[in-house]
A and B are shown apart, each in its own frame.
Chain A
Amino acid sequence: MRVGILDCAIGGNIYSIKKAIDKIGYETQIVKSTSGVDKLIIPGVGSYPEGADAIIPFKDELQEFVTTNMIMGICLGMQLLCQKGFEFYPHEGLGLVDGECVKINSDKPLPHLGWNNVELIRDSKLLKGLENEKFYFMHSYEVVNYTGCTALTTYEKHKFVSIIENGNIFGVQFHPEKSGEAGLKLFKNFLSL
């Protein structure tokens, strides 16, 4: 299987994701298109406008790709799957997920940095065998309005969407590539689907 890591934005921690997936024994490629790719990962790290401007040119290609193949967005990569983001100013997203990306509604310090549990709302393929593990979060924005979310996480009493699984579309708000062994296993779960 060929795992593609989409390199389109000026941000994007592509090497961090590549070395994590290499570590679990899959062949990865840093790609600028979906051609020849079996599963695609959309990296995070970046502001919404920068990420959206970079990924919008791929909108049609990605919509086509997910009819037959799986994608996973990480952090900003998951937020970009939404219809819209509101970091700095409103910006169009990929529209693959029925949701919007807004600033976390909390009076506690932001960004939210650190390890948290994920609380399953329904069965999760990504989290299989990892239900009690913690994952690393680094974000100030969250996905809202997504009615079919798979898991929530609580930051200082505020609950936000931490996993989305809908057909071929997967998204995680945390960083599996930065979540130690648990994160590596989550990649393994995704890639063995």
Chain B
Amino acid sequence: MRIIARLDVKPPNVVKPIHFDGLKKVGKPQDLAKKYYEDGADEIVYIDIVSSLYRRDILFDLAKDVSKDIFTPFAVGGGVRTIEHTQKLIHNGADKVILNTNAIIDPSIIKGIVSVFGSQAVTIHIQAKKWDSWYECYTDCGRNRSDKHVIEWAKEVEDFGAGEIILSVIDNDGRQRGFDLELSNKLIESVNIPVVIGSGAGSLDDILEVAKLNPSGIAIASLLHYNVLTIEEIKQHLINNGFHVHI
């Protein structure tokens, strides 16, 4: 199981939204990426949370600069919508791209990128919003509805060749009150590609609960940004409870 540090970036800062809104600056992405790498993060996820919203390209030079001191996988997203964007990112420190809004607008982009770079190079970020009886995918950093059901969309992106899904849950994100275990479990059971669960880590127990669902990875942001826990402490707790993690 991978422990993944997630950086939500509103250039030039890492910010931490609550419910995808109400931004708080927490540091520079270069510094935090390096720190989490040195602390033993298995992967760094970098998402430019405003590029889709502003309809601008991701800032390639910033992503490259952030990758400079890290020697662990680096996933980059935010406004990525073409093979050229993907090439530029992979040539410059990224290992895979993360897509949400642009994949929902035009799912064929998934197939296009996979045909050139392979499945392992495409991660789909699902931003789920809970309604009474279903979960809906949101776009543009939790701002706009898509009418797509989370589980149906997950199966669709698997068919298109995506190699991984990272889940965020709008109602849980940034609140540090636990993951949405019900949706997480359903998602993990529904697809046969690796699933990373995010949104809601508030304590070691929360992390342990989600680990029991056997996700491929757990994405953590606030707990690390606010120095509540270190990656090392999280991994040690998982090891003490019989889970396999890399230290």
Where the two chains meet, the residues of A that have a C-beta atom closer than 8 Å to any C-beta of B are: 10-16, 19-20, 23, 45-47, 49-50, 76, 87-88, 107-111, 113-115, 134, 136, 138-140, 175, 177-181, 183-184
Contact = CB atoms under 8 A, between A and B. Distances in A.
Contacts of B1: 114
A109 B71 contact: no
**Interface residues of chain A: helix, strand, loop or mixed (majority):** mixed
A155 to B, nearest CB: 12
A180 B71 contact: yes
B93 interface: yes
B103 interface: no
A139 B71 contact: no
Interface of B: 1-2, 37, 42, 64, 67-68, 71-74, 83, 87, 90-96, 114-121, 163-164, 191-195, 216-217, 246
B71 A177 contact: yes
Given A13-B91, A15-B92, A178-B72, A115 B119 contact: no
A47 B216 CA distance: 23
Closest 4 CB pairs of A and B: A115-B246, A111-B120, A138-B120, A47-B118
B2 A110 contact: no
A53 to B, nearest CB: 11
B87 A134 contact: no
Contacts, number: 117
B149 to A, nearest CB: 21
A19 B120 CA distance: 22
Given A13-B94, A15-B91, A184-B71, 9 more contacts: A10-B117, A11-B118, A15-B67, A19-B68, A109-B216, A111-B119, A111-B194, A140-B118, A140-B119
21 contacts: A10-B87, A11-B90, A12-B91, A15-B64, A20-B71, A45-B117, A46-B118, A47-B116, A47-B118, A50-B115, A50-B117, A76-B118, A110-B119, A111-B119, A114-B1, A136-B73, A138-B73, A138-B96, A140-B163, A179-B72, A180-B37
A110 B192 contact: yes
Nearest to A178: B73
A11 B95 contact: no
A109 to B, nearest CB: 5
Contacts of B74: 16
B156 to A, nearest CB: 17
A187 B121 CA distance: 23
A80 to B, nearest CB: 12
A79 to B, nearest CB: 10
A14 B93 CA distance: 8
